[in-house]
């Protein structure tokens, strides 16, 4: 993650739940870097509907 991206995340312009999610991920990534000094990182983000996993026949706005 670039320094500019981290700066934007620290400005507090995100919802608290999203900010907490990002902070948690960054903390885990930093802990992994302590153990494994590899500095390359690829992050894949995605959204899914957990209700549709239980009932694939439901339809509606995504």
pLDDT tens, residue by residue, 9-57 = 565 577 888 888 889 988 988 888 888 877 787 877 777 777 888 888 8
Number of structural domains in the chain = 1
Cα–Cα distance measured from residue 4 to residue 2, given in angstroms and rounded to the nearest whole number = 5
Residue-level pLDDT at 18: 83
**Nearest Cα to Cα of residue 41 among 28, 50, 51:** 28
Determine contact, residues 40/32, Cβ cutoff 8 Å: no
Would you say residue 14 lies in a domain?
Answer: yes
Would you say residue 19 lies in a domain?
Answer: yes
Cα–Cα distance measured from residue 38 to residue 15, given in angstroms and rounded to the nearest whole number = 31
Would you say residue 49 lies in a domain?
Answer: no
- Give residue 14's domain range: 3-43
Residue-level pLDDT at 12: 59
**Nearest Cα to Cα of residue 25 among 12, 44, 4, 51:** 44
Residue-level pLDDT at 8: 57
């Amino acid at each position: 993650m670039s320094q500019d991206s981290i700066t934007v995340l620290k400005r507090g312009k995100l919802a608290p739940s999203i900010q907490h999610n990002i902070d948690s991920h960054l903390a885990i990534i930093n802990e992994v870097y302590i153990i494994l000094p590899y500095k390359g990182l690829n992050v894949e983000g995605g959204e899914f509907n957990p209700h549709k996993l239980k009932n694939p026949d439901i339809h509606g706005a995504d």
